[in-house]
């Protein structure tokens, strides 16, 4: 399968989808797979200082909230002092689970993204947000991508899940199932929770790199739902991109998540084409709220 998409075609698609908006990254230097060089020496001391502030904020919030697998892997990355060098991390990651990091200018085409994941390459954006974006950023930056995603790629089972997702994405593009599969990524890789002996913990990168949702997602009494992950249910559930999540899907283990994606999704896509997606805040009959009030 040819997974190359020209910059011109990709940026034209972005403009069409976003009413003319442009992506922030420098796409002129990207190769056919949207890979660029991380010019680590070009980061300023102000950018390293901002990274340290972001890192320190999250590390004050995550103990007792993030899953142990994330905390342990993050501590081994020595990423507290400034923006990490991807090459050094890639060597550690490849030795642990066979994954590498590829530097990208920002968001990349779905086909290229899936191809990278299917071949155990995780795209990480090279630029860092501005100080005024400390609490919220529209496009994923290097802090979200590296801090939020990379640590769990050291977990063998979760790393295998991400590869399987990439393989599934390539197939979904041929079956018209991208909308459904995107919901699975959103509700697991980005905003997933895991049940542990100590209680619910976070493994989703979108929460782990957020200043506010870390606390919110585990706070009893909110209007958000916390329900056990059912794959088909998840594929048919809408999500919010501009607010905290109204539903969090909970897994019992990474093994459960990996095994849940083993079936062929083709019949799921066919079935769901004729069904109206569930609202983001829905609680269906028989589902149980898993966060005690």
Residues annotated as catalytic (active site), given as ranges: 144, 149, 190, 209
59's CB contacts (< 8 A; 6+ apart) are 80
Q: How far apart are CA 183 and CA 231, in angstroms?
A: 10
Distances, alpha carbon 96 to alpha carbons 23, 99, 126, 130, 225, in Å: 33, 8, 23, 33, 35
Rounded Cα–Cα distance for residues 178 and 173 (Å): 6
DSSP string, 177-203: -HHHHHHHHIIIIIT-EEEETTEEEE-
Residues in the chain: 293
Helices and strands in the chain, H and E counts: 13, 6
Residue for token pair 């994330």: 70
CA distance 177 to 139: 24
């Amino acid at each position: 399968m040819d997974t190359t998409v020209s910059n011109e075609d990709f940026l034209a698609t972005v403009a069409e989808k976003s009413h003319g908006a442009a992506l922030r990254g420098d796409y002129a230097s990207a190769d056919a797979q949207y890979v660029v060089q991380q010019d680590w020496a070009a980061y300023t001391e102000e950018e390293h200082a901002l990274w340290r502030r972001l890192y320190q904020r999250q590390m004050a919030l995550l103990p007792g909230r993030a899953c142990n697998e994330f905390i342990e892997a993050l501590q081994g990355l020595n990423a507290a002092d400034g923006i990490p060098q991807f090459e050094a991390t890639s060597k550690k990651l490849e030795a642990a689970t066979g994954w590498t990091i590829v530097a990208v200018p920002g968001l990349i085409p779905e086909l290229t993204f899936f191809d990278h994941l299917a071949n155990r390459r995780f795209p990480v954006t090279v630029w860092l947000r501005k100080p005024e974006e400390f609490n919220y950023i529209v496009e994923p930056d290097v802090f979200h991508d590296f801090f939020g995603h990379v640590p769990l790629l050291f977990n063998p089972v979760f790393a295998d899940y991400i590869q399987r997702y990439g393989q599934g994405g390539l197939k979904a593009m041929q079956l018209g199932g991208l909308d459904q599969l995107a919901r699975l990524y959103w509700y697991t890789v980005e905003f997933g929770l895991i049940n542990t002996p100590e209680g619910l913990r976070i493994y989703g990168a979108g929460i782990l790199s957020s200043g506010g949702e870390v606390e919110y997602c585990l706070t009893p009494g909110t209007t958000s739902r916390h329900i056990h992950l059912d794959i088909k249910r998840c594929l048919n559930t809408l999500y919010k991109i501009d607010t905290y999540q109204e539903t969090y899907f909970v897994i019992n283990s990474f093994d459960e998540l990996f095994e849940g994606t083993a079936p062929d999704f083709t019949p799921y896509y066919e079935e769901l084409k004729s069904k109206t997606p569930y609202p983001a805040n829905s609680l269906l009959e028989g589902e149980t709220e898993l966060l005690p009030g």
